[in-house]
Structure 1
Amino acid sequence: MILLSQPPESLGLQACTIVPSLLNECSPGGHRLLQSPYRNVHFDSMHLQQSAAQEMICDHSLSSGWYRFLLFDRPAEMPTKCVEMNHCGTQAPIWLSLRDSETLPSPGEIKQLTACATWQFLFSTTKDCCLFQIPVSVRNCGQFYVYLLQPTQGCMGYCAEAISDAKLHTCGPEEIEIGGDCVGQLSASFPPPPPGRPEVVVELIESRLFCRCAFDVSPTNSSVGFLIAWSRLSSQEIKEELKQETTVQAFSLLELDGINLRLGDRIFCSASIFFLEKPHIQSLAIESQEFFAGIKLQPELSTISEDGKEYQLRIESTIPIVCSEFSELDQECKISLKLKTVDQDSLWNIHRCT
């Protein structure tokens, strides 16, 4: 076991000297916020390791200072029970360890406590809930706690769990706690409200095209996650599922890479909401309208005759036209469309300003 042998002062905490008379660390300007939803104790970090490793929480670069936890704009606090590995958006989650004689501070009080990081060595069958120890000062500000935190020794992350705004009240005999709120046993099994209808749009990210599925979410008293599914219509008008994603963000991205998605595809996405504490309780899945990725001709059906009259057709692209870096040599960026007639083929060039 590795322990931090230095006193708090040597780590930049100065815990013994930060005791102002007006508790300025409780004021809005006296602390900073840690509000990534990935810090939730119920969030499985394996989702990030498989799809978005760059978003993993790693607090070795955290600045020393007072912090308050929020989850979806609701008060949160550090958990006081061992957290399993690969939770809280990190591999080694950090929780607040209370010994038998220790308690959290009363309103207005400050206490010096110890945080622990959970770890399990490769090929080991047991985990160590407190392999690393970190000194943490905790101030009870009445409606919330603030924590005097320091950077971690490695890639670890401080955890958070939601609490009720009323703070530290016990639930009645017919109630259970979900996300820090006391909820009746019957209502606890109700699914969350479904999301707003998703919308598919295309955006350009670093010269790559992505479809974005985004939707609105109604506020809830519990922490929620989202199940997002992508599909497209086959040539037989059958929906083919392309991808499913579980996330705590109200959107999903899928690249138009010519493999998963191609020009000319008719694309859909659907979204449902579930409670992080009870992921099996899900809302109805709401599906987007069809999105066509490609070039449209308006009107879609038109007959043009060589009768000397003028005909107007509008050509519209639903996706940005990405110009290759080599097109700069030609001083133009264009795509070509072939207009077939009865007697001859003529070539149209559609130019895009660069």
Structure 2
Amino acid sequence: MPGGVWALALALMLLDPGNAQECSPGGHRVLQNPHRSVHFDSLHLQQSATQDLICDHSLAAGWYRFLIFDRPAEMPTKCVEMNHCGTQAPIWLSLRESETLPAPGEIKQLTACATWQFLLSTTKDCCLFQIPVFVRNCGQFFVYLLQPTQGCMGYCAEAISDAKSHPCSSDEIEVEGDCVRQLSASLTPPPPGRPEVVVELIESRVFCRCAFDVPPTNNSVGFIIAWSRLSSQEVKEELKQETTVRAYSLLELDGINLRLGDRIFCMASIFFLKKPHVKSLAIESQEFFAGIKLKPELSTISEDGRAYQLRIESTIPVVCSKFSELDPECKISLKLKTVNQDLVFFWSVYPCRSW
């Protein structure tokens, strides 16, 4: 938002402080990506899912409220380490000496800071970039007048609850905004349901999806998902490991990391977002074969004039361009050979479907 428009917006709000339209449901937007949590480590996104990194340079200027897993959330008021909140440069709300958050019904202009550490530097700068932010206290929650960032930075959020005004008892601790007994808080999360590997077509590219059921829990959780395949020596080779807040993972059948004929497995475990070291038991999927199967796998066919029936099944879609459905090159060709020589006596062509 240009400086003149920003100042005009503040002037209008100060002229009519009682008419806080931004507190009404239609007066603000909601930012509820769980990656914005101060407890979310963004490093794995930079390694495997850069498209999921939060970059608020395209954020529309306006009033926003934060939610984390449907819980009320606020911008943190302490320095946030780099590579958190789903971004590289997390933005937090700086309260200088004598500054406080606005009281109910009030609005204040405060300063948001972006944390950054230059390459080869040993120290970080908690406030290398500064952004003006207006904060309105709506009584039950805060709303923030945000503007787009100059680069790939992200506004952070921290889940809150009534525990702020009602402190936990001596035998309880606060976990993700809830007061839970220390005994239950120290327990490991329940394991996920058995993962299942299925095939999915995304924009003409073939992916394997590892998905599983998540048991109910009072705490916010994340997932560690590992992919592996069985080598020719019957040894499992790890292909990819991902830490995510989504209860699934995708792995592309690209012919390099994952190939036709591979026998694939995925394994999943659950951890508490606030205590990443507290993990559940890891559960592994059944084997998934990515390729074409012949049923029955073994069969003796004699040259006796009789008809023999074999069934061919593909566990993955064979992709043809929509413009090449009638192209004779878009096909699967199979040939049978005799035992003693390479003489072809049966030729079968299966046209591919477009997906």
TM-score (norm 1): 0.88
Report how far residue 236 of structure 1 moved.
3.6
Q: Pick from 239, 242, 246: which aligns with 1:245?
A: 242
Deviations 1:251-303 (Å, cap 9, x if unpaired)?
A: 21212122322211111101111112211100111111211111122344444
Q: What does residue 334 of structure 1 align with?
A: 331
State the 1:218 CA deviation: 3.3
1:251-330 pair list within 5 angstroms: 251-305=248-302, 309-323=306-320, 330=327
CA drift at 1:48: 1.9
Q: 1:318, 1:91 → 2: CA distance?
A: 39
Matched, 1:60 2:61: no
Aligned to 2:196: 199
Q: Give the aligned CA root-mean-square deviation in angstroms.
A: 2.8
Q: How many residues align?
A: 349
- 1:107-132 CA distance string (max 9 Å, x none): 44333322111122334332221222
- Mapped partners of 1:126, 1:151: distance in 2: 26
Which position in structure 1 is the counterpart of 2:9? 14
Whether the 8 Å contact between 1:42 and 1:276 is mirrored in structure 2 is yes
Structure 1 residues 13 and 137: alpha-carbon distance in aligned structure 2, compared to 1, 3 A threshold: farther
Residue by residue over 1:118-157, the C-alpha shift from the partner in whole angstroms, topping out at 9 and shown as x without a partner, is 1223343322212222222222334332211111222211
**Structure 1 pair 311/197, CA: closer, same or farther in 2 (3 Å)?**
same
What is the one-letter code of the residue matched to 1:352? C
Correspondence 1:338-349 to 2 at 5 A:
338-340=335-337, 345=344, 346-349=346-349
Q: Aligned with 1:17: secondary structure?
A: helix
Pick closer, same or farther for the CA change 1:218–1:146 going to 2, 3 Å: farther
Cα distance in 1, alignment partners of residues 58 and 112 from structure 2: 17
The residue aligned with 2:183 is 186
Given that 2:331 and 2:349 are in contact with CA atoms closer than 8 Å, whether structure 1 keeps it comes out as yes
Counterpart AA for 2:347: L
Aligned mate of 1:217, from 214, 219, 222: 214
Identify unmatched segments of 5+ residues in structure 2: none
The 8 Å contact of residues 29 and 65 in structure 2, kept in 1 or not, is answered as yes
Q: Tell me which of 26, 29, 35 is aligned to 1:38.
A: 35
- 1:317 deviation in Å? 0.7
Q: Quick one: distance in 1 between partners of 2:97 and 2:7?
A: 28
CA contact (8 A) 1:37 1:72 kept: yes
Q: 2:195 & 2:35 partners in 1: Cα distance? A: 22
Aligned to 1:49: 46
1:184 Cα deviation from its structure 2 partner: 1.8
**Conserved in 2, the CA contact under 8 Å of 1:143 and 1:167?**
no
User: Which AA in structure 1 matches 2:336?
Assistant: L
- The alpha-carbon deviation at position 308 of structure 1 amounts to 5.0
The separation in 2 between residues aligned to 1:221 and 1:140, in whole angstroms, is: 28
Instruction: Quote the Cα distance in structure 2 between the aligned partners of 1:44 and 1:78.
Output: 17
2:350 equivalent in structure 1: 350
Residue 172 and residue 66 in structure 1: after superposition, are their counterparts in 2 closer, same or farther (change >3 A)? same
Matched, 1:83 2:80: yes
Correspondence list, 1:131-150, <5 A = 131-150=128-147
**Structure 2 letter corresponding to 1:113:** L
Residue in structure 2 matching 1:155, options 138, 149, 152: 152
C-alpha deviation, 1:105, in angstroms? 3.0
Report deviation, 1:334: 0.8
Which runs of structure 2 are paired with 1:80-119 in the superposition (5 Å)? Answer: 80-119=77-116
